[in-house]
Structure 1
Amino acid sequence: MEIEMKHDALIVSKTDTKGRITYGNSYFIKISGYSEKELLNAPHNILRHPDMPRAIFKLLWDRIQAKKHINAYVKNKTKNGDYYWVFANVTASLDNHGNITGYYSVRRAPSHKGIEIIQRLYREMLQAEMSGGMDASLKLLEKKLQQEGVNYDEFLINLQK
């Protein structure tokens, strides 16, 4: 069953460099269905929904490990198997010397228009991953962006409008 995120709510979480949760705000805890104790030190991918293409997470990790921020539409799974969509902004947390100390994510409610388009795209990407691996999925995404005449960031921002 889909859980719709409150329009004005923000989900905030932090992880260490290995992706283990070190902080989650109260709304993150509530919507996930896990207790704070269950979430802390758990891998963030505890929330990964099987409908998410691996290629999206590759893009995310490549970007944040390069100390750049990224936006992504993400379908998360709750403890009881329900799901919710978010529009996520993920950045690296840096120390005074510019070294990555962890990652910080702020998620908000996604646009309904964006979800409709992203669901179709993610289904196609998952099919490409099953038949040709992650490279096939990434190529499909690149083809879609070329057809739209935008880069990944512009595509997502346009969907969120």
Structure 2
Amino acid sequence: MAMRGGAMRRMPGNPLGGMLRDLDRRTRTTTRSTGRRAPAGDPPAGEAGSPGERGPEGPPGRSTTAAIVTTGDDGRARWMFPAPYALPPVLTALPVDPEPGGDRTVTVALEEVTETCAVVRVWRTRPKRGHGVTDPAGPGLFVHLTATAVS
């Protein structure tokens, strides 16, 4: 035997059913157009004018530089910026895990940021029962760095 109404109607008192019912009502009302639409008007008469004068120059944008550096024997990597910043920049560092499927994790710590350079150090976790231990990552790990000027 057929039941009248949808599944949402058969769930009285169910908050999800009420939400689905309201959503169904709203979608039906937005897809239906009410009233008649007026016919499209004529395009404006005349020819397009020439562009106006150039406005005043805005302030200079923030400069962002990026680099990929490699760690040394102690897990540190130094990045000399191409041009010095007025203030120490905002730095983002992302280490590349050489063994993404392994049980060790690679993390990076920012040790020093000046107007001319940045120093980061990469660490690898070593699983130990009860708590993890971190060791310097060693040579040859890549770190992706970006530096953005502070305004």
Superposition TM-score tier, normalisation by shorter sequence: under 0.3
Relative to total residues, which structure has the larger strand share, 1 or 2?
2
Instruction: With the length of structure 2 as denominator, give the TM-score of the two structures.
Output: 0.21
**Greater fraction of residues in helix:** 1
Larger Rg: 2
